[in-house]
Structure 1
Amino acid sequence: MRCRVPILLCALLLASAPVLGAVPVAGQPQADGTHFEAQLQADGDAAWNVTLSVPIGTDSDRDAFEAFADRFEAGEADLELGVDAFERAAGEASAASGREMSITSVSRHSEVVTDPDSGETYGVLRVSFTWESFARIDDEDTLYVDDAFNTTDGTWLPGLGSDQSLTILAPPGYGGPTTSPIGADGGDLRWEGPTTFEPGYFDIVYHPSGAGPATNGISSPLVAGALLLSGAALLVGLYLLFGRQRGDETREPPEAGDADSDGGTAGEPTDAAAESATPEKDGANADPDTGADEPNPELLSDEERVEYLLERNGGRMKQATIVKETGWSNAKVSQLLSSMDDEDRVDKLRIGRENLISLPGEGVGELGEEP
């Protein structure tokens, strides 16, 4: 690899050599951790987030961070691993693959937050953008992640530093990767530094959920058989239903005044029957603390369950706590929260190696102890 490759991206270090080096940016605070996240889309685009956490220990640290953050949000200053670096990477990948790629929909965000566990204060810098045509798609909607990491000299991502990580999230409507260099967790792939990547390392393939080479619509014998069984089950169900209705119609109704076995009058519910017939709110139980009806989690969507948990916990929680409360996998919760963040249903903020989640307008930057 010739010397121009190390200036393609950010100053990520392995040992003493830059693996994705970039020209240093004057005034940028020293990052304590960097996380790259690529949310793949069904059309081949990828929504990228690059998040830096900067420790703030003194008032002068905070002043320096806020001064740079103002310039950063105004677009007057970029990061070493910012938009300019990724635009160069996309240009190199376009030249190597023969596919036109570009960086669009750029946004920048900064915030000062306090870790609720350690009490340490961090400045957070995040740049978000869309890498168009990041993945290849064939006629069967199979999605390939490979040549977007290539250049004519190798790869623009030779590795990650010890304080950096990379996550590639599965596209909506797709299962886990059928081909990948590492095992997937809930369809998602995650790397923690330090690590190195050889050219051609990112050979990742996704198929649409439920799709496969042996399934071709109703022409498939398996699908046709399933349709026949479903039709037969429907006919049996209709037969039993109408048969029961005919039986009810021919049964003579009890005469008024006849007593039932419990001493009650026919047609009038006994005390026990009346008690059992008392209507309750479907799917709700009384909260022992507030007396309010608590929804049945089984009747809520995943997104509604997360929102309910946040409301019960003062509007903000750590991602790890959501994983514990729901019993879901880390990957499922991470993908779900990223999707809700994109839809502005929650705010997702990374601090060091942990994500803080809040309902919109709850003010993540004012976090104290988690409720």
Structure 2
Amino acid sequence: MLRRAGRAAVLAVVVLAALSGAVAAFDSDALTQVDVETDSTTLNVDVGADGNASWEVVYRIQLDDENRTAAFEDLAQDVASDPATYRGTFRDRMERTVAAAENATGREMSVRNVSVETRRESQPQGEYGLLVYRFAWTDFAAVDGDTVEVGDAIDQFFLDGGTTLSVSWPADYAAESVSPDADVTNENEVVWQGQRDFDAGQPRVVLVPEDQAGSGGGAGDGGDGADGGDGTTGDGTSLQFVLLLALGAMLVASAVWLFVRESGMSTPLDGDDGTAGAAPAEDSGDAPDTGADDEPDGPPAELLSNEERVLRLLEDSGGRMKQKAVAEQLDWTAAKTSQVVGDLRDEDKLDSFRLGRENVLTLPDVELEPSGPDDEE
């Protein structure tokens, strides 16, 4: 019983650590090694003007059958009888996660006031059991005078399909900018829903005192800030004019790109091997031009979905590749790679097998040569 609950606690901290980018110390396979399966996760981050943040991590388990209900009741009983074990495990792993963020940001950080509880909650979809961790993360956000910038400690966050990230702030502050656009925006809160893969420099929320919001043309309430109320920006420039300029630039860029593609010229977008876009070699006349490189091999990588990028990488590698190498070549975290690979495996678009301590990915129905010891570093 305690073992089951302990492994559920490990799930909580491993998921949080993976989402925060500190995945190198964790095995993503551990995410599936639990008896209590969660249905959704909510990460609530309440940021103060001093940069400290109160975190609440809520794991929901739908109690839709006897087995899941009994498993949650076992978990709740174990947490109630030995909360110190759960708090200690969570604190230890969070401290390693926060240490990684500390190194990335250069700010001293700490984990404080860890607590854990379980409870039940009735929702329109049915009855849920909740496993809830709370803790304080000091210096989570960067503070410069009255400005608070949230997000550098969790740069390039990855939310899986069942995870929601909520960032809230004091009532006397306002969001000057939010990147990327949130799925839900309230007066003092923004919410992003998974599945979502934040880019470098994301997520970000820049907060300023409410009386300063919009004074510099930022994201204010439209009173005296970015929108002057008469269709102009703060410096009198027509908003319509600014939008037209932006649209015109996009159209020009698209036209140039199409012209280059149609004319057969190489561009930095052609191919994924980094050789396209280089100066063409002079024609020696020794070999005829076959025209093999005239057409790109499929669309540019940036126009592909995550799943398509993995499949293209496998095709270019002869149908077989180590999962670790996929993560390295695509510059993804282990957690993100595991999520995308799992989706492809569920759709029968790729297979996988263990080779020693490595996970090897293969395309279905591909005949592979026997692997040697030097294959796939």
- Specify which structure has the higher proportion of helix: 2
Which structure has the higher relative contact order (CA within 8 Å, separation 6+)? 1
Range into which the TM-score falls when normalised by the shorter chain: 0.3 to 0.5
| TM-score normalised by the chain length of structure 1 | 0.46
